[in-house]
Structure 1
């Protein structure tokens, strides 16, 4: 079942010969009368934008564009988000915001941290990201949320800094992140299904390593139809 606002997932273009995950989320309605981020991680995303942008006026215009529903469908894929944003005169601009993907080593450390606490997995499944998860990740050198300078803009209007169009895209994405923190993990390089499968594999491996000794030493069950005394009788 698709989540609200999600037009589905597909595999995008190849990167080094492998298919790339991608999700396209349908355009959201105007956001008049409400903020753009309710969750702490959505607010952290916007703080990265607002601490990076050099022109507050561009940000205000971007908020206006987002509030008025000027941001089209948002495509989220590793390292990049993309949307067409219409200016006040309805001129469309393709706008992109880039975010660094995690390395394989960073993903390994992050997944170990999440698998180590069952509460982290349960929270993600509930579309929640507890602050403790981000703190645990930071403790092993993985910064989940972007910081100042991490959101790199590219826009068809050819602005060199965050313009109203890339700002509008960022504000719109904050609303989407509120509903699904897995979008952040997708930007960092891995899709939800891949993350969950890896977490399940790691959790299963951990459980196997912690089987009680008594259970390991227990004899196998007797073959069906054979009395237990005969099945496990010592050879004469």
Structure 2
């Protein structure tokens, strides 16, 4: 009896994939997928590891929404990708997660330079955050092929296959929207990391309330006084009451051939006690 699934058939799946209703897809319809520097860095790392040359195989899958589900957690991402067969393929992309001691060293390094925490709280990835990890002997992005594992249940022998590649594209776009997803792969979600940063910053504050209050008490007599030269500058400054109207964009319509802002100027001056006759009339 002939083999129902011969060797020559197992090296690739038919090209026509089954359509997925409500699948996960990337928003980019053409051109580069990654917009932020950290997503571009993620894809460039894959290229340096010899993965990037085959990523384009999954771009059409990612744009068509063939990914049924995708979950990112410490140590990797797990997804289901619909191919041509009835059952979606199971895809896993793994990276080593850092331990508690390693993340403690990273958190302390981030606290030591307040600018890092400020950028992270703003929802972005600090440009030189890789240096923070390198300083404590770690790598934020995969440093070698040993830092990256890829598995898919499809019959394609190529690694990455189109299903893995599609997941990489979706991850890159997810990283654009939330850089903390990259940190989550390494073992720290957003809330856990920020809570640890806040705790370390609080612990670094002076423990003696008297010491901190004494510094303020020393300057209480002059705390509310203006600096030298400031009163003179304020006294000489005069802002016209209708200056705000100069910042208003031109209205799309005019009233009897006059701009709306010009019609409002007499009212602004009247409220300031100037040119009241322009409002009340003769």
TM-score (norm 1): 0.71
Q: Which residue of 1 aligns with 2:37?
A: 40
CA distance in 2, matches of 1:43, 1:148: 17
1:69 positional shift: 1.9
1:89-121, Cα deviation, whole Å (9 max, x unpaired)? 676211110011012221111101111122211
Structure 1 position 27 matched with structure 2 position 50: no
SS at match of 1:37: coil
Matches within 5 A, 1:1-236: 27-53=24-50, 56=53, 58-87=54-83, 92-149=88-145, 150-157=147-154, 159=157, 161-208=159-206, 213=211, 215=213
1:88 positional shift: 5.5
| Structure 1 unaligned residues grouped into runs of 5+ | 1-25, 219-236
Work out whether residues 79 and 188 of structure 1, in 8 Å CA contact, stay in contact via their aligned partners in 2: yes
CA distance in 2, matches of 1:40, 1:78: 22
1:46 positional shift: 1.0
1:129 positional shift: 0.7
Larger Rg belongs to: 2
CA distance in 2, matches of 1:55, 1:140: 28
Give the 4+ runs in structure 1 shifted more than 3 A: 53-56, 88-91, 209-218
1:109-166, Cα deviation, whole Å (9 max, x unpaired)? 1101111122211211222111222222212212112234122101111546221111
CA distance in 2, matches of 1:90, 1:104: 42
1:55 positional shift: 8.3
CA distance in 1, matches of 2:119, 2:66: 32
User: Higher relative contact order at CA 8 Å, sep ≥6: structure 1 or structure 2?
Assistant: 1
TM-score (norm 2): 0.61
- For the aligned residues, what is the CA RMSD? 2.8
Q: Which residue of 2 aligns with 1:228?
A: none
Per the alignment, do residues 47 and 104 of structure 1 end up closer, same or farther by CA in structure 2, a change over 3 Å counting? same
Q: Which residue of 1 aligns with 2:247?
A: none
Count, aligned residues: 193
